[in-house]
């Protein structure tokens, strides 16, 4: 039946037409219903090929045409503003002033456009100088040189200030090699220019560029271009060369053996002496003004000399150029009675050199610093206090923080603990901090043969407690160190047969120091463990943890010193009863700190005992100034002669 139905052609056509019409009606119905909402389809039909979806733009990119249009509009706006400014500014000086103010607001494009427009009918060289200086200040050396070339193409003739701006900008460049190349090239261009010639300012600026880069070859090539007129050397010329020689010598000798270091340093000193003789000839003729900076630069080169005797030439140098007498030699008159030198640092009035056209340089803080360094390095510390009084009281120099620290450093070399303790009392409040007290206490450690070293250290401790809100931990450790290493006079008593008395006095000295440290220790422990709030950053937290470690290091040193007195039986038990509770409390605080050390220092190797760490004991404290040692009273022998051998 099916076969007959399909075999009839007419029936087949009617069937196809009916199916097609029903499908069309169904499709149109679906199209009408589709906007009404989602629907489910339980049948499958052949669907037409889907059209490619249109993606929404992922970024709001402006087409190139629009971008160019925006740039053009912005430039037209700048052009309008620049044109308006130029309508009211005809004077090149006013234009330069306006450009300088515009650059101060970092509106470089506007300033450049104004300079370009103004260059069409007038010379505005100063304006271009401001633009070049701005780029050099922004560390854009290549752009600055490119702008310099554009300036010349626009008919703007560079002046001497233009090259000064370029050379000084090269000296401040963070790329010294490239800066040297540009500076030397433009200096030679200036030398070949018939319109303008380089002067001493240009010479010094290029020398400074070469010196900062450490290029001594280029520096001396430029130095050879000096003359007696426009490029005459000044004090700054010699200062730059001397400083470059000193820095180069110190940098190049680090990896050399000692003999080679000494030879190289002596060559530098000899070369500097040759330059100095030339400078002194010009100075005596009145062709060169010598200032403090030049004198001190030469003095610091002389301090490079390997021999101690050669370092002392600095004192002769100061007498030659500043009329500061050499107090290590016999003098014909009292320098404190010289009226011409009284308050010279305050008045600034130079004194003429006898039988010469020269004028003495005026000493100041730089000279005082050089003098103190010279006395310390050449072992002439006995005249240090006299020099200080001469320059501070008679010459009127007001010491700064560096001068005070150098003074304490010189006293440390001299082992003058009494002077260090007394000078701390007159130290100005502006310069009171931990470093002077550390150096002063180190002086007492070095002065341990002095029977009064412990008393001097106690004065230093009391001064620190009075003038510092929080005592310096290192100074406290050094104070205990003074009590431990000051035993020369006790060992001398042992040689005379009084061993028990010497041990007892040594024990009293240590326990007295421990008693004096108890209150300062409690103060620093409270400050770092309780009073200081928990820092917000990890960096500050690490700093606080290190400070706490220093407090515990002090505690361990105190506990070790107490144990030394007990173990070596320096004192009877009745004298130790008052210290035993203190020692127990310190020990508990040490144990409490190390109980959670694995959490505070996770990278540290796991350990269950403090003893596994390198101990900070009285025998190997980190502060062992000058190789001083702690006396072991249990060992016999000739300790006094042993001490003499060590010194």
Q: Residue 575's pLDDT is what?
A: 86
The CA-CA-CA angle for residues 416, 419, 424, to 5°, reads 125
Give me the DSSP letters along 481-495.
HHHHH--HHHHHHHH
**Whether pLDDT at 612 is above 60:** no
**Whether pLDDT at 222 is above 90:** yes
- Are 114 and 102 within 8 A, CB to CB? yes
Q: Residue 62's pLDDT is what?
A: 54
Contacts of 243 (CB under 8 A, 6+ apart): 211, 297
Please write the tens of the pLDDT for every residue from 242-280.
999 999 999 888 889 999 999 999 999 999 999 999 999
- Are 247 and 215 within 8 A, CB to CB? no
- Cα gap 610→615, rounded to integer Å: 8
Please write the tens of the pLDDT for every residue from 511-536.
999 999 999 999 999 999 998 887 77
Report which of residues 381 and 641 the model is more confident about: 381
Domain residue spans of the chain: 496-623
Among the residue ranges 26-30, 334-338, 567-571, the one predicted with the least confidence is 26-30
Show contacts of 217-223: CB within 8 Å, 24+ apart: 218/180, 218/184, 219/244, 221/184, 222/184, 222/187
- Cα gap 440→427, rounded to integer Å: 12
**Whether pLDDT at 643 is above 60:** no
Q: Residue 322's pLDDT is what?
A: 96
Please write the tens of the pLDDT for every residue from 59-108.
555 556 666 666 666 666 677 767 767 766 778 898 899 899 999 999 99
Q: Residue 537's pLDDT is what?
A: 80
Please write the tens of the pLDDT for every residue from 364-392.
999 999 999 999 999 999 999 999 999 99
| Mean pLDDT value across the chain | 85
290-302 burial, b at 16+ Cβ within 10 Å, e below that, comes to bbbbbbbbbbbbb
Q: Residue 641's pLDDT is what?
A: 43
What value does the mean pLDDT take over residues 422-433? 96
Q: Residue 73's pLDDT is what?
A: 65
Paired with 352 in beta bridges are: 359
Q: How does residue 443 score in pLDDT terms, banded at 50, 70 and 90? A: very high
- Cα gap 425→431, rounded to integer Å: 12
Among the residue ranges 348-362, 430-444, 514-528, the one predicted with the least confidence is 348-362
- Are 318 and 391 within 8 A, CB to CB? no
**Which residue, 420, 398, 397, 390, is CA-closest to 408?**
420
Q: Residue 14's pLDDT is what?
A: 55
Report which of residues 620 and 203 the model is more confident about: 203
Q: Residue 606's pLDDT is what?
A: 54
What value does the mean pLDDT take over residues 598-611? 60
């Amino acid at each position: 039946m099916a076969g007959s139905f399909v075999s009839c052609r007419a029936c087949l056509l009617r069937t196809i037409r009916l199916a097609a019409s029903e499908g069309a009606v169904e499709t149109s119905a679906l199209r009408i219903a589709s906007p009404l909402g989602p629907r489910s389809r339980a049948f499958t039909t052949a669907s037409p090929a889907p059209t490619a979806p249109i993606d929404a733009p992922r970024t709001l990119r402006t087409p190139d045409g629009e971008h160019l249009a925006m740039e053009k509009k912005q430039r037209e706006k700048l052009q309008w503003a620049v044109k308006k400014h130029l309508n009211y500014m005809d004077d090149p000086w006013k234009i330069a002033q306006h450009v300088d103010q515009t650059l101060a607001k970092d509106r470089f494009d506007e300033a450049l456009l104004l300079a370009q427009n103004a260059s069409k009918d007038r010379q505005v060289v100063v304006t271009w100088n401001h633009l070049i200086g701005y780029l050099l200040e922004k560390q854009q050396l290549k752009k600055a040189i490119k702008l310099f070339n554009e300036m010349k193409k626009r008919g703007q003739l560079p002046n001497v200030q233009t090259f000064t701006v370029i050379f000084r900008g090269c000296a401040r460049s963070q790329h010294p090699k490239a800066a040297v190349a540009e500076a030397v090239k433009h200096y030679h261009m200036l030398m070949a220019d018939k319109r303008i010639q380089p002067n001493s300012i240009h010479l010094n600026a290029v020398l400074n560029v070469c010196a900062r880069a450490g290029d001594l070859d280029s520096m001396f090539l430029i130095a050879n271009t000096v003359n007696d007129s426009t490029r005459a050397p000044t004090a700054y010329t010699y200062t730059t060369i001397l400083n470059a020689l000193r820095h180069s010598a110190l940098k190049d000798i680090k990896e050399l053996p000692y003999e080679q270091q000494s030879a190289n340093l002596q060559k530098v000193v000899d070369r500097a002496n040759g330059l100095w003789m030339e400078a002194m000839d010009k100075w005596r003729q009145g062709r060169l003004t010598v200032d403090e900076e030049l004198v001190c630069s030469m003095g610091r080169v002389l301090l490079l000399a390997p021999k101690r005797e050669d370092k002392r030439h600095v004192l002769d140098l100061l007498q030659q150029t500043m009329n500061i007498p050499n107090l290590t030699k016999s003098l014909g008159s009292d320098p404190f009675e010289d009226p011409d030198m009284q308050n010279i640092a305050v008045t600034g009035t130079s004194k003429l050199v006898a039988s010469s056209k020269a004028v003495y340089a005026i000493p100041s803080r730089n000279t005082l610093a050089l003098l103190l360094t010279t006395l310390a390095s050449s072992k002439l510390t006995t005249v240090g206090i006299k020099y200080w009084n001469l320059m501070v009281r008679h010459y009127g120099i007001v010491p700064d923080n560096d001068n005070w620290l150098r003074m304490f450093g010189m006293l440390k070399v001299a082992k003058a603990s009494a002077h260090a303790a007394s000078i701390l009392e007159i130290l100005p409040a502006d310069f009171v901090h931990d470093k002077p007290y550390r150096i002063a206490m180190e002086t007492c450690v070095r002065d341990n043969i002095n029977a009064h070293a412990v008393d001097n250290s106690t004065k230093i401790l009391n001064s620190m407690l009075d003038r510092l809100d929080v005592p310096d931990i290192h100074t406290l450790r050094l104070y205990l160190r003074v009590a431990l290493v000051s035993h020369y006079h006790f060992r001398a008593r042992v040689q005379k047969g009084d061993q028990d008395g010497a041990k007892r006095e040594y024990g009293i000295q240590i326990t007295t120091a421990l008693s004096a440290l108890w209150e300062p220790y409690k103060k620093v422990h409270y400050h770092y463990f309780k009073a200081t709030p928990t820092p917000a950053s990890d960096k500050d937290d690490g700093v606080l943890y290190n400070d706490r470690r220093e407090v515990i290091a002090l505690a361990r040193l105190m506990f070790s010193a107490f144990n030394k007195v007990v173990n070596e039986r320096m004192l009877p038990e009745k004298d130790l009863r008052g210290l035993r509770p203190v020692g127990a409390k310190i020990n508990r605080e040490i144990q409490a700190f190390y109980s959670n050390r694995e959490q505070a220092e996770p990278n540290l190797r796991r350990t269950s005992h403090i003893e596994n760490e390198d101990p900070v004991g009285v025998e190997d404290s980190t502060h062992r100034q000058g190789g001083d040692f702690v006396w072991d009273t249990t060992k016999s022998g000739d300790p006094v002669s042993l001490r003499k051998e060590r010194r």
